[in-house]
Structure 1
């Protein structure tokens, strides 16, 4: 299936791409709807299952298990084509939703969320490979923008619908309504990939046989980091030391060389994805909890914060998809500046006298920043990767996203759990200050996305 040489003036929904584009965007929209709905419902879920101390883990567990799925999907897609890992991803994702929806206790829900995360990791990398293998370079920014735009309808109706489901049907239906829809979306996209087989000569990766082992080490280390942060004394110190060591060692082996020191070019592109994701999602996870628990909003109204943030993201992505040959560094600097300002502004919601409209407006700004940054990083990753390494590098892009965010949630979640009963204001501010600092770090690194020999 050689369509990458198509006339670049065609759009991603031209006849030759239409079925595939609609199916892929539908999967992204489903994932978006579920993500926003679960984030809206989670404060109620944690209260119902007496699991507020594991609130951050409910999100971090999904992220760390997605690491294993991403690593598996990267080489799998390069060697056999993206169709099979995508099909498995949808199946595992749907199964995890069922487990979570039927969970009698918080730990069972965590297991379901981890199964769901594994499937999501398979899906996300497979879709990136589809873009690299099918669409010509001139269309890649537009299809990534379409993926981001697929969050528009879920962003508008997802949190509100989720809040209403929680209030009138119960939180379990937020999980149980999605598996059938996932199967229908898969039937739309998978037939279009039947001719997309393996690459003639997949590029070997040093230590490839051990990548799955290191993915499991990374996931276990991130979970241990979260658990250790809630312990006390020498037990906490020992667990945290093991967790940090395991996380750093696994990152060195899973991510491109130089990522952790933000070497120029692709390593900085990968690092920025993790930094931006940790800054945004590390704030978003706690925002509905703050609005419902401290400011007294209903689940539906607390979910409105997610709605406006996702709308800002979609608007930023729409604008990015229409830029003509922009300077990558300047675009990323602008996006990271917006993200940092938005995170800092949203943190003002912890002040009881502060009108919530201020925080909501700031979260739109944060969404604009993410809509600018994420498509730009996706395009740069494909641009800086030879065809035989697009799967591996797309996997690394999302691995960094998941690992940085999971680590951020582990640290923030531990501080939150330790401070919540004694000093609620400090509990929220401890996390928000870290995410704002990450945004500022991303702004400082954005000028390093081009290799040194590129000028």
Structure 2
């Protein structure tokens, strides 16, 4: 008698036996990427002083940003051609190699090289992780795993800068780079069995136009790095650098994002656009708040930083909430609510430029904006996978993260230009930059309904 084994039921939670190691390893990798992104900012002033590398300070941040843009595109193409296993391994390898080079660098130039290599590994990893979610997790669990990814950023955002400061003071700045590989390798080993078990129903060759797409990515990455550099300069140098960079982005970015992106075409183009608008709004407000509170309200750096922490915690709360809500009837509901929270929250923060407005109101506004990001980000990630055929998950995940990065970089550069326009930033410049952030949220609310693609009749 022949016995036919019943098909295994799909896992019903993130830590089911089939998914446990994958979940733990993936969340650990996201946490490491987050810690390194946040910790480097704390350590870099000491690094530049010890290596006499102040002239390369901006490049130490712009370089990895540019290489990350290129890596996201490469990873998307690679994942669609052969699955996420190789990009995941290569991402960890490049990430660790970059950290080792940066941590042992005798000169600032070599440290920048390490940072560029590290940024390339981060870009490979970030896209590969999205494709892993699309292939390994049933649709019912995707909102929860993306919520876990969001939560994986919270602890580093709470303790990362302070921990990095302690490491710099007591162990030396090199250990901010050298300690991370100790955890990165075990984390990817946890993910490996799950990667091996994934299906391989993907084309064996890279999609057409892969080389051209990588070329446009190089152009976009170089433009983004120039934009980052220009945003930190003053006078004519800043104007020329930002203008050239924006022209480069306008030429290159549309070639890397979904067709119809600039027209907010229904479906994926609008999903990518909403992610970019939200990222731009939050990043633009986040850099202004500490400066505004310290200059206009007399906050200490620690107190101003705690206000940002409120936003990080509420982001995690929003992610947790959306992961446990019954899926709404319309896919536009959570993005619309999230963007409305971002618009209302940043507008409320802007009121703090008025001395008569109590600071706790601004803190509440920033918490509202963070809640909106938590509701929005995972829902857009889930929508991206839902709107992607299996062989397009890499490309579309790459587009989502590219839009996120490029929008934020553009707004941050323009914010820097506004703040540097006068002799010293004042209430007017703070209000202007926060109004732009709120405007991005309002525009997103107006476009949110376009994430839904009408069903064809007949």
Report how far residue 384 of structure 1 moved. Answer: 0.8
Structure 1 Cα separation of the partners of residues 169 and 302 of structure 2: 8
1:386 equivalent in structure 2: 389
Structure 2 Cα separation of the partners of residues 91 and 290 of structure 1: 40
Report how far residue 155 of structure 1 moved. Answer: 4.1
TM-aligned CA distance change 1:231 to 1:302, over 3 Å: closer
TM-aligned CA distance change 1:310 to 1:240, over 3 Å: closer
TM-aligned CA distance change 1:224 to 1:450, over 3 Å: same
1:367 equivalent in structure 2: 370
* Contact residue 35 and residue 156 of structure 2 kept, 8 A: yes
CA deviations on 1:143-194 (whole Å, 9 max, x unpaired) are: 2122223234334433443454456666654444323222232222234313
2:260 equivalent in structure 1: 258
* Contact residue 88 and residue 124 of structure 2 kept, 8 A: yes
Structure 1 Cα separation of the partners of residues 79 and 253 of structure 2: 21
Counterpart of 1:333 (choices 332, 336, 340) is 336
Number of matched pairs: 449
TM-aligned CA distance change 1:52 to 1:447, over 3 Å: farther
TM-aligned CA distance change 1:129 to 1:9, over 3 Å: closer
Structure 1 Cα separation of the partners of residues 286 and 45 of structure 2: 13
CA deviations on 1:109-157 (whole Å, 9 max, x unpaired) are: 6554443322211111000010111112122122212222323433443
Structure 2 Cα separation of the partners of residues 80 and 242 of structure 1: 36
TM-aligned CA distance change 1:176 to 1:206, over 3 Å: same
1:315 equivalent in structure 2: 317
* 3-state SS, counterpart of residue 194 of structure 1: helix
Counterpart of 1:118 (choices 107, 117, 120) is 120
Structure 2 Cα separation of the partners of residues 389 and 422 of structure 1: 48
2:4 equivalent in structure 1: none
* 3-state SS, counterpart of residue 12 of structure 2: coil
Structure 2 Cα separation of the partners of residues 157 and 190 of structure 1: 29
CA radius of gyration, larger in = 2
Deviates more, 1:378-387 or 1:53-62: 53-62
Structure 1 spans left out of the alignment, 5+ residues: none
Q: Say whether residues 1:149 and 2:151 are aligned partners.
A: yes
2:450 equivalent in structure 1: 448
Deviates more, 1:40-49 or 1:91-100: 40-49
TM-score normalised over the length of structure 2: 0.84
Q: Say whether residues 1:246 and 2:244 are aligned partners.
A: no
Structure 2 Cα separation of the partners of residues 165 and 243 of structure 1: 36
Structure 2 Cα separation of the partners of residues 383 and 6 of structure 1: 23
Give RMSD over aligned pairs.
3.5
Counterpart of 1:412 (choices 415, 433, 439) is 415
Structure 1 Cα separation of the partners of residues 431 and 46 of structure 2: 22
TM-aligned CA distance change 1:198 to 1:231, over 3 Å: farther
* Contact residue 339 and residue 366 of structure 1 kept, 8 A: yes
User: Superposed, which structure 2 residues align to 1:213-362 within 5 Å?
Assistant: 213-228=215-230, 230=233, 232-233=235-236, 239-288=241-290, 301-326=303-328, 327-347=330-350, 356-362=359-365
CA deviations on 1:170-227 (whole Å, 9 max, x unpaired) are: 6654444323222232222234313436434368645222111100000111223344
Report how far residue 318 of structure 1 moved. Answer: 0.9
Structure 2 Cα separation of the partners of residues 269 and 276 of structure 1: 11
